[in-house]
Amino acid sequence: MNEQNKAPVRPELYNDLVEDYLHDLRESAVTNMFGASPYLVQCFRMTEDEARACLSFWMRTFKRR
């Protein structure tokens, strides 16, 4: 199975609050979503790696919402 067909693994810190925050951030157009991880770091006190994992999961599952 190639990497694109694998189901993304939900990060431990990813939850409805993070998902709603990312949705609202996208709607606000404050930043391009590729630059959203610092916002997660600041708002949710995540590490940069945790924020990138959550953002990546959100992006990879965006079409499912």
Domain definitions of the chain by residue range:
12-64
Nearest to 58 by CA among 15, 1, 6, 4: 15
Sorting pLDDT into bands at 50, 70 and 90, what band is 1? very low
pLDDT in tens, 23-58: 999 999 999 999 999 999 999 999 999 999 999 999
